[in-house]
Every structure is written in C-alpha cells, then in structure tokens.
Amino acid sequence: MKISFVGKGGSGKTTLAGLFARHLAALPAPLLAIDADINQHLAVALGASDEEAVMLPALGDHLADIKEHLRGDNPRISSAATMVKTTPPGGGSRLLTVAGPNPVYDALVREVGGVRLAVTGPFATADLGVACYHSKVGAVELMLNHLVDGPGEYVVVDMTAGADSFASGLFTRFDATFLVCEPTVRSVGVYRQYVGHARDFGVRVHVVGNKVDDESDVAFLREHVGDDLLTWIGRSAYVKAAERGEVRPVDALEPANRRALEVLRETADTAPKDWATYTRQAVEFHLRNANAWANDKVGEDLARQVDPAFVLGPDPLVRAAR
C-alpha cells in the first residue's frame, strides 16, 4: 500500500510518519519511506543525526537519471528530457517495486534507523527566487506513477504541510491518506481545507489525532472531524525523548500509542486497490499539466506520451520481468 502523512505544519506529521515506518520495519515488512516535505526532517525522526541527514543523496538532484531509467524503451517518449513529473508509464516503461533492486534505489535509497529511505532534498539557497520546491517533489510523483506495490508491501511518504500537497497530482497517488490533526482550531481548519479538495477526487482521508491529553481533546476532534477520526496518539514520553534526540526502540513506545500505529496498518491493509483509477488519475493530471505548461516547456504535445491500452498493476510488472 502507498501511504501518505499530511497535516498542518507542527502537528507532528513527520514524527508520526517516522514512528509508523519504524513500526512497519519491525514487523518486518517490505518498506520504502520517502521524505517529500520541504523541511526534510524524516531522516532525523528515524534516528539520523543532522549531519548524517544532510549527506543523504537527494532525488531532486538526480531527476534526469530517474527519468532515463523509467523511460526504458517506451516508444511514446522521445527522450528522457521530454518526461515531466506527471509522465505516466506505458508499454516499454521500466516499473519500480517496493523492494527493488534497481539503479534508482541503488543510487538514492539509504537505510536509516532500520528503514529504507529516499529524500527529495532540501530547498537550497541556489533555488531561491528561481525554482519551486514542487520541482523536487516531482521526482516522487514520477516514481509513484511507475511503482507497483504488492500485498504486505508499504510505501510511506511524509508529504509537504497543509494544502501545498495540492500543487500537483501527488495527493492522488496513495491508497491511504492519514491527516495528522491536533485538537486545535487551526489544525482542524487545515483538515477542512484538505478534505474539501481531496474528496473531489475520491481520496478518503483518515484523521489521526495527535498530542491528545484527555477525553476532552478526543471529544473536540470528534465534534469537528466526525467519522473521519480513525485513532489518536496520546502525549508521549517516548516521542518527547525522540524530539530531544533520543530515539528508543519502537517497542518502547507506550502500548496505547503502539496500538494506534497498528490501527493505521490495518486501515491501510484493508483500503481498496484500484489500479484502473490510479492509472486514469495519473493520465488526467498529466494532460492537465501538458496543456497548462509542459507542452510549451518541452516543445512537444505530451498527450502523445499516454498509452491508452496501459493500466499500471501486477500484470504489466510480470510482463516487464519476462
């Protein structure tokens, strides 16, 4: 399953993404974590030092290599340079799996705290005034458009905060979306904004309460998010220690909070898998981007990149392996 963590900045989104990834890794389960947040804190949440985190290779710095690999011998794509963040796979494209191996993972995925992690890379000084962070996140969208995940496999993505997720079609690339929500008016406001956009595309949002002290906090969340409240994480000495740089084994997490992580896993496992819709939405956003800016930038009609007979899923993955 492809899983995203979203929410207001400061809500604990990255902390919970890291906890959930470590929970899955301890099962153990095939897992790939991706940091797609502009603040790039997931590596530290998994146990890396600040110095180790900044040394991780960045997807955004190797976009040309990623495109060249994914293009394969797809005859509809004239060159890797004509691929944009939304380019969908077709016959001849190289597909990714969670476990790999492939040259992209070899170059750009590193193990951090027992979790295989890829990072988009930070917004650098050289980018100021001349680039958009979503150009880096485009590497994640392109990879997820070409990724086939099987039963019991997980991709966990820490998304950029708030409604910034809607600057691309990336928000539709997930089987389960967990919105981390504090029991505050501001955090609930981000929830309303997010679901207002997401539901137009059939994206189900599950709310995970965070920093919950007592039943009044739970009641507040239920009042404002209703049945979307899936579970909640209570105030945690374990999390407080982690935020101070002391990352303990995940089995030391408070039992109630560990059970909440298991609820997230069970919810993801039972989410419907609809490869046809996944492919259709990839094509829809590709055509939107092509008409809005990409055709002019590339100098080609990128609608020609769409293979109308192709549906991403296990079947083309098997064919590609033969």
Concatenated DSSP letters for 107-128? HH-EEETTEEEEE-----GGGT
60-75 pLDDT tens trace:
999 999 999 999 999 9
Average of pLDDT values for 113-120?
96
Long-range pairs, 268-272, Cβ under 8 A, ≥24: 268/1, 268/3, 268/154, 268/175, 268/176, 269/1, 269/152, 271/1, 271/175, 271/176, 271/204, 272/175
Binned at pLDDT 50, 70 and 90, residue 95 comes out as very high
Mean pLDDT of the chain: 91
Predicted confidence (pLDDT) at residue 317 exceeds the cutoff of 80 = no
Between 80 and 322, whose confidence is greater?
Answer: 80
Q: pTM of the entire structure?
A: 0.93
Average of pLDDT values for 39-49?
92
Average of pLDDT values for 276-295?
95
Predicted confidence (pLDDT) at residue 127 exceeds the cutoff of 60 = no
C-alpha angle with apex 136: 269 to 182, nearest 5 degrees?
50
User: Of 33-47, 122-136, 203-217, 263-277, which range is least confident?
Assistant: 122-136
Binned at pLDDT 50, 70 and 90, residue 319 comes out as low
d(CA 211, CA 269): 25
Average of pLDDT values for 142-164?
90
Predicted confidence (pLDDT) at residue 93 exceeds the cutoff of 90 = yes
Report the pLDDT value the prediction gives residue 122, as an integer from 0 to 100.
73
Q: Do β-strands 154-158 and 2-7 pair in parallel, antiparallel, or remain unpaired?
A: parallel
CB 312 within 8 A of CB 279: yes
Report the pLDDT value the prediction gives residue 15, as an integer from 0 to 100.
92
Predicted confidence (pLDDT) at residue 124 exceeds the cutoff of 60 = no
Q: Which runs of consecutive H residues, i.e. helices, occur in the chain?
A: 13-25, 42-45, 50-54, 63-71, 103-108, 134-145, 185-198, 215-225, 237-243, 255-269, 275-289, 295-298, 314-321
Long-range pairs, 298-305, Cβ under 8 A, ≥24: 298/81, 298/82, 298/84, 300/78, 300/82, 302/82, 302/84, 302/87, 304/76, 305/76, 305/77, 305/82, 305/83, 305/87, 305/88, 305/90
Report the pLDDT value the prediction gives residue 318, as an integer from 0 to 100.
60
Percent of the chain surpassing pLDDT 90: 78
